[in-house]
Amino acid sequence: MDDVEYGLNTPDVEYGLNVLWNRSFRNGQVYKENLGFFTPDGLLIAPNMMNTTHSSSYGFNYFEKEIKDKKLFVKWGNQKLQVLGIIHTHPNRSSIQKPTPRNDFQYGFMGIHNYVMSTYYIYDAFIKNGREYDPILGRRHEYNKLPMEFFGFKYKGW
C-alpha cells in the first residue's frame, strides 16, 4: 500500500480513502491523523510526516491554497486542484471522534464540507446559517454515503 509521508494523488477515491485510514495506524497502533482533499481528479492525500495522533494540521497547512471565484484550490506540483471537500481521520479512540468545533469547519463558510473518518463513523462537518453541524453520514466503511461526485461515479461498492 502507498505511503503517505510525502502525499499521494489518486484518481481512485475508494483506494485513497482506504490508504487514508490504514496509514493512520502502524503495527496495529494509532500512528497519525491523515487528511485528504476531494478534487475533480480524485483524492489528494496530504503529506503526514509531521501529523500526530491528534492532529492533521501539518498536512492541512502543507499545501499552498488560493481562493479564486469563490472556489478553493490547492497546489500539487505545478497544478492547482479545486477542493470539493476535505476529509481526515480521527483514529484515536481515546480522543474526540466527531468533528472538532471550529477546527474542522475551516472552509465551511464557502460551503466546503469537512468529513471525519472515526473508528466507527463518517461525520459531515459543515456550516449552515452561521452554525456548525456534524451529523453522522454512516459507518466508517460506508463510502457510498459521501457525495457521488467525489468518486466520478466509479464507486465499486454500489
- With H, G, I as helix, E, B as strand and everything else as coil, classify residue 42: strand
Asked whether the predicted pLDDT for residue 80 surpasses 50, the reply is yes
Question: For the segment 2-15, what is each residue's pLDDT rounded down to a tens digit?
Answer: 556 778 899 999 99
Burial class of residue 135 in the structure, from the number of CB atoms within 10 Å of its CB (0-12 exposed, 13-18 middle, 19+ buried): exposed
Distance of alpha carbon 44 from alpha carbon 11, whole angstroms: 9
The DSSP letter of residue 114 is E
* Residue 103: predicted pLDDT: 77
Cβ-proximal residues to 153 (8 Å cutoff; 6+ apart), any chain = none
CATH of domain 8-151: 3.40.140
Matching residue, cell 453520514: 137
Q: pTM for the whole thing? A: 0.89
Asked whether the predicted pLDDT for residue 128 surpasses 60, the reply is yes
* Residue 47: predicted pLDDT: 86
Position with higher pLDDT, 102 vs 124: 124
Q: Where are the domains of the chain?
A: 8-151
Tell me what the mean pLDDT of segment 27-53 comes to: 88
